[in-house]
Amino acid sequence: MSDSRQRTPDGPEGPRPILTVRPLEGCGGVRAAGEVGLGTHMIWERVLEQAVRGGETVYYLELSEVTFVDVAGAGALVAAAERLGDGRRFVVRRPPPGLRRVLEMLWPDQPGVEVSTT
């Protein structure tokens, strides 16, 4: 996967949302940094789409540098996980605490999304 970056200079409204994504070394997946919200949903959904189309049994999302994921971002993850099928799953590593909270409240017991704190 190629580097996918989108950054706009800070405007008068304050910091613009960014989400940068780069491939993980040694296993299938990506390391993301920034936040998942209205301004970055397209980047996030593109990552998830590539994961669904790829063949990995386990697709890692390393999120230790992601500060926030909104409900639509969590919903996109769940929707992508439901399309994985055949025992495949996402492993979400070190997500921001709000993502775990949203998954617990809205989509508990999702077999396709495993949250790992290590």
Cα–Cα distance for residue pair 18/15, rounded to 1 Å:
9
Closest Cα to residue 104, out of 115, 112, 93? 115
Residue 72 sits in the site that holds another protein (CB under 8 A):
yes
CB nearer to another protein: give 29 or 112.
112
In whole angstroms, how close is the CB of 101 to another protein at the nearest point? 6
**DSSP symbol at 84:** H
Residue 68 sits in the site that holds another protein (CB under 8 A):
yes
The correct pick among 29, 30, 35, 61 for binding another protein (CB under 8 A) is: 35
Residue 101 sits in the site that holds another protein (CB under 8 A):
yes
Closest Cα to residue 42, out of 15, 16, 66, 73? 73
